[in-house]
A and B are shown apart, each in its own frame.
Chain A
Amino acid sequence: MNYQLSLTVAICFGLLVLLGYFLPDFDLLILLRAEILRWAAILSGVAMFVGIISLLKVHFNKFMDQKSNWGYSLVLVLTFLITFGAGVFSFIFPQAEGLVDFMFRYVQVPVESTLAALLAVLLLVAGMRMVRYRRDWTTWLFLAISLIMLIGLVTIEAPIPDVFPFLRDWLLTVPVVAGARGILIGLALGAIITGLRIFTGADQPYGE
Chain B
Amino acid sequence: MPQIIDLIGLATLLLIGGLLVGLQIRNQRRNVQPAFRPINAYAKLRTFLTEAIETGRQVHFGIGTGSIGAEDTSATLAGIQTMQAASTTLAAAEKPPLVTASDGTSFLLAQDALRDVYKTVPGAADRYDRDAVQMVGVSPWSYSAGASMLVHGEAPIASVTLGEYGDELLPVLEAGDRVGARQLSGTTNNNSQAIPFVGVEDAVVGEEVYAASAYLNPKRASYVASLQTHDVMRLLIIGALVIGSLVMTALDIFG
Contacts and interface: CB of A to CB of B under 8 A. Distances in A.
B41 interface: no
A112 interface: yes
A58 B131 contact: yes
Contacts of A69: 149, 153
Interface in B77-117: 77-78, 80-81, 84, 101, 103-105, 107-109, 112-113, 115-116
B206 A47 contact: no
B138 A194 contact: no
Contact of B113 (A55, A127, A205): A205
Contact of B20 (A23, A193, A205): A193
A207 B109 CA distance: 9
Nearest to B196: A126
A190 B138 contact: no
Interface size class of B (residues with CB under 8 A): 35 or more
Chain A contact surface mostly: helix
B6 A51 contact: no
Given A44-B105, A196-B17, A197-B222, A123 B170 contact: yes
A202 to B, nearest CB: 4
Contacts of B201: 133-134
Interface stretch (A93-101, A154-162, A164-172, A180-188): A180-188
A187 B222 contact: no
Contact of B77 (A43, A127, A194): A194
A61 B234 CA distance: 49
Contacts of A198: 77
A44 B67 contact: yes
Given A44-B67, A191-B188, A205-B109, A200 B21 contact: yes
B124 interface: no
Interface in A67-125: 68-69, 72, 112, 115-116, 118-119, 122-123, 125
Nearest to A67: B153
A48 B170 contact: no
A189 B233 contact: yes
A8 interface: no
Contacts of A44: 67-69, 103-105
A122 B171 contact: yes
A147 interface: no
Given A44-B67, A116-B167, A180-B190, A203 B107 contact: no
Given A58-B134, A134-B201, A183 B207 contact: yes
Given A22-B10, A205-B81, A206-B112, A47 B105 contact: yes
A190 B3 CA distance: 25
A41 B153 CA distance: 34
Interface in A39-62: 40-41, 43-52, 54-55, 57-58, 61
A54 B107 contact: yes
Contacts of A112: 139, 141-142
A190 B207 contact: yes
Contact of A24 (B6, B119, B168, B230): B6
Contact of B145 (A115, A133, A192): A115
B223 to A, nearest CB: 8
Given A196-B16, A202-B222, A187 B104 contact: no
B222 A206 contact: no
A40 B104 contact: no
Contact of B78 (A57, A129, A194): A194
Interface string A20-31: 001111000000
Given A187-B206, A193-B210, A202 B24 contact: yes
Q: Which 6 A-B pairs have the closest CB atoms?
A: A207-B116, A47-B104, A190-B210, A186-B207, A48-B104, A191-B74
27 contacts: A22-B7, A23-B6, A47-B108, A50-B104, A51-B103, A52-B135, A54-B134, A61-B131, A69-B153, A72-B149, A123-B170, A125-B174, A126-B170, A142-B198, A186-B230, A189-B207, A193-B226, A193-B230, A194-B78, A197-B222, A197-B226, A198-B77, A200-B20, A202-B20, A202-B21, A202-B222, A205-B77
Given A22-B10, A142-B194, A208-B119, 12 more contacts: A23-B6, A25-B3, A44-B69, A50-B104, A51-B107, A72-B149, A180-B190, A183-B207, A190-B188, A193-B230, A202-B225, A203-B81
